[in-house]
Structure 1
Amino acid sequence: MGKKKVTRLLKDLRDPENKSYDELFSLIYGELKRLAYSKLQKERKDITFTETELVHEVYLKMIDQTQIQANDKNHFMAIAARCMRQILIDHARKKKAEKRGGNKKDVTYIDELLKQHHKTEELINLDKEINKLAELDQRMADVVVLRFFGQMSVTATAEVLDISERTVKRDWAKARGWLYKELKG
């Protein structure tokens, strides 16, 4: 799959009349599926939905936005990673509300699929701590989202954030240490 073709399709999407979403997703579908698979392997004990369902949720979330403002393939994948994070966090919050007696109807593929509540709590706590980290250092929080939820390489993360690979590595190390301290402390 050519980066140039993805970049061209992303530019085409800026035209409100253009509907290149389907072609764009067909080009990067495999990569999105690998990203979802990688993320779900870490959560496999608690999540029973497939990477295909998660990718479809991301597709629906992204196509629902009025315009995707991605400059290139890496930027697009970063947006997809953030969407995956939002989907998983929203799902975890719904599961937590249900545990407390909430009666809301499920609206996505994944609403009934987390099995163990302790992982739901961990995901919600991680999201809270990432939000706290963002208040202290937005770039470090962005690095965490892209590296953890997006499974992006150091190089791709550096390109998306327009910073050096060395800075990504340094922020990644600091952010992991900070999050560990906050989550375990």
Structure 2
Amino acid sequence: MTAEKSSPAGSNPDLTHLLHAWRSGDGHAFSALIDEAYVALKQMAVRRVGNHGAATLSPTELVHETALGMMQSPMDFANRAHFFATMSLAMRSILVDRARARAAEKRGGRDVQVSLSRADFGDEGALAVDLLALEQALTRLETLDPRCGQIMHLTYFGGLQQDEIALVMDVSVPTVKRDLRFARSWLLKAIGD
């Protein structure tokens, strides 16, 4: 695995070229784009699915379902970071939809449990919450402070590093750090209520 593929928004000229080719209408570019980005996408999916007590999809299935959705609804990606942020949002949507479907099952569907590691929140230990509660809390946060909500999403669901988030959001790294501190604190309080 190359350094470029270990970080979702890392520098990879081939990925940039494929994004431009797909944007220009090259029908084969999307398949090559997914092949080129697969390792990073799989890492994102492992991070997401790995946090579920009862996973609804394997990481591979999540990557494939996400890619299929993107292929069916083409988008214009500005750059690598935008591509990975969008793929992260799509993964989040798929997992939340699956969790909602499971919770709505006739025979007392239960919430999908997600372990939010306090390492993600800068502390030790773990806080178990269900995916739907997390989604509701993130939605409330995004309503109150859209930038903080998006930064938290890119950190938790996207697995992006602070410098990558700063690039995607067009803000400084100190702003990302400050917003993450606020978002983590706010989410811990909201989920704890």
Displacement of 1:83 after TM fit?
Answer: 0.7
2:75 pairs with one of 68, 72, 75 = 68
Distance change in 2, residues 1:48/1:95 (3 Å) = closer
Q: Which has the higher helix share?
A: 1
Secondary structure at the counterpart of residue 113 of structure 2: helix
Displacement of 1:61 after TM fit?
Answer: 1.3
Q: 1:159-178 maps to which residues of 2 (within 5 A)?
A: 159-178=167-186
- Is the counterpart of residue 77 in structure 1 residue 84 in structure 2? yes
**Higher-RCO chain (CA-CA 8 Å, sequence separation at least 6):** 1
- How many pairs align? 170
**What amino acid sits opposite 1:29 in the alignment?**
Y
Structure 2 portions without partners, runs of 5+: 5-10, 115-128
- Does the 8 A contact of 1:144 with 1:175 survive in 2? yes
The equivalent residue for 1:59 is 67
Provide the C-alpha distance between the structure 2 equivalents of 1:99 and 1:148, rounded to a whole number of angstroms.
31
- Does the 8 A contact of 1:3 with 1:72 survive in 2? no
RMSD over aligned Cα, in angstroms?
2.1
- Does the 8 A contact of 1:134 with 1:141 survive in 2? yes
Secondary structure at the counterpart of residue 13 of structure 1: helix
Displacement of 1:180 after TM fit?
Answer: 0.9
**What amino acid sits opposite 1:139 in the alignment?**
R
Q: 1:12-31 maps to which residues of 2 (within 5 A)?
A: 12-16=21-25, 18-31=27-40
- Does the 8 A contact of 1:13 with 1:68 survive in 2? no
Q: Which has the higher strand share?
A: 2
2:159 pairs with one of 128, 139, 151 = 151
Provide the C-alpha distance between the structure 1 equivalents of 2:38 and 2:138, rounded to a whole number of angstroms.
27
Provide the C-alpha distance between the structure 2 equivalents of 1:152 and 1:36, rounded to a whole number of angstroms.
12
TM-score by length of 1: 0.83
More divergent stretch after superposition (164-173 vs 9-18): 9-18
Provide the C-alpha distance between the structure 2 equivalents of 1:30 and 1:118, rounded to a whole number of angstroms.
26
The equivalent residue for 2:41 is 32
Moved over 6 A (4+): none
2:136 pairs with one of 128, 131, 139 = 128
Distance change in 2, residues 1:128/1:100 (3 Å) = farther
Q: 1:65-144 maps to which residues of 2 (within 5 A)?
A: 65=73, 67-99=74-106, 117=111, 119=113, 122-144=130-152
